[in-house]
Amino acid sequence: MKITVGVSARHIHLSEGDLATLFGQGYQLKPERYLSIATQYISKERLKIKGPKGEIGNVAVIGPPRPQTQVEISRTDGFTIGINPPIRLSGDLEGSASATLVGPAGELLLKQGVIVAMRHIHMTERDAQELGFQHKDFAMVVVKGRRSLVFDYVVVRISPDNTHTEIHIDTDEANTADLRTGDEAELLHINDKKVRLEQLINMLDDRQLRILEQSLSSIIAEEKRRVAVMEDILKLVVK
């Protein structure tokens, strides 16, 4: 099944308290553009993220405010500012990385809250039922083209709020597969290894099939040699 790709650039979710610290008491975020999950928006406000080795400016703030402040950056951003955030699902912040946020009204040292977002699929209940996925299952998504690859371990998040099924990846993942927001990728249907394998093989072109055939043949030949050696040893032992 074809699904839409959404590329998440680095962004920040703020708690009410941290919003006040960074922008001033009683400050309200101003929506600039609503996102595919229509309750959320990119605000006009921007912040700077500082780490031990550098800083990144002009980082978008996503509204509305949330219970916990959460900073989502790419692995590359982490190298730029000198921190190593864990790959986590949104909201799972215990023991995540630290950084400083700089706003027009003040600075804020976050002891934790910086993550590299784990890739995920927002799935409609209808698609989940049709394709056989449960909430928090892992899916595989295949990307074709000169940077073709398979995204495995894509967490499925099913919610009645989802109006369509969409994979969310960060900018490092998007660049690796040469994807942009609005592109399409192929979601493998069923959370069953054998079926997934058959679907994968069906998607390979002749060159890829030849390479797979060669590697499988050499693996089988090597295994046969190993079995022969063990059989010889067994004969000696049994004697």
Return the range that interacts with Zn ion (CB under 5 A); candidates 99-107, 124-132, 166-174, 209-217.
Answer: 166-174
Q: With CB under 5 A as the rule, give the number of residues binding Zn ion.
A: 1
Q: Does 168 bind Zn ion (CB under 5 A)?
A: yes
Provide, rounded to whole angstroms, the least separation between the CB of residue 6 and Zn ion: 7
Return the range that interacts with Zn ion (CB under 5 A); candidates 138-146, 162-170, 195-203, 230-238.
Answer: 162-170
Structural contact between residues 37 and 122, judged by C-beta atoms closer than 8 angstroms: yes
Choose between 37 and 56: whose C-beta lies nearer to Zn ion.
Answer: 37
Q: 42 pairs with which residues across the strands?
A: 33, 62
Choose between 37 and 102: whose C-beta lies nearer to Zn ion.
Answer: 37
CA dist list (Å): 76 to 44, 83, 135, 153, 202 = 24, 10, 30, 20, 34
Provide, rounded to whole angstroms, the least separation between the CB of residue 91 and Zn ion: 11
Choose between 13 and 168: whose C-beta lies nearer to Zn ion.
Answer: 168
Provide, rounded to whole angstroms, the least separation between the CB of residue 159 and Zn ion: 11
Choose between 10 and 168: whose C-beta lies nearer to Zn ion.
Answer: 168
SS (H, E, C) the chain: CEEEEEEECCEEECCHHHHHHHHCCCCCCCEEEECCCCCCEEEEEEEEEECCCCEEEEEEEEECCCCCCEEECCHHHHHHHCCCCCEECCCCCCCCEEEEEECCCCEEEEEEEEEEECCEEEECHHHHHHHCCCCCCEEEEEECCCCCEEEEEEEEEECCCCCCCEEEEEHHHHHHCCCCCCCEEEECCCCCHHHHHHHHHHHCCHHHHHHHHHHHHHHHHHHHHHHHHHHHHHHHHHC
- The contact mask relative to Zn ion for 67-106 (x = CB under 5 A, - = no) is ----------------------------------------
User: If we measure between CA atoms, which residue out of 121, 111, 26, 13 comes closest to residue 69?
Assistant: 13
Q: Does 13 bind Zn ion (CB under 5 A)?
A: no
Provide, rounded to whole angstroms, the least separation between the CB of residue 10 and Zn ion: 14
Return the range that interacts with Zn ion (CB under 5 A); candidates 130-138, 140-148, 160-168, 197-205.
Answer: 160-168
Provide, rounded to whole angstroms, the least separation between the CB of residue 147 and Zn ion: 22
Choose between 22 and 187: whose C-beta lies nearer to Zn ion.
Answer: 187
Choose between 77 and 170: whose C-beta lies nearer to Zn ion.
Answer: 170
Return the range that interacts with Zn ion (CB under 5 A); candidates 46-54, 136-144, 161-169, 219-227.
Answer: 161-169
Report the interface residues with Zn ion, using CB under 5 A. 168
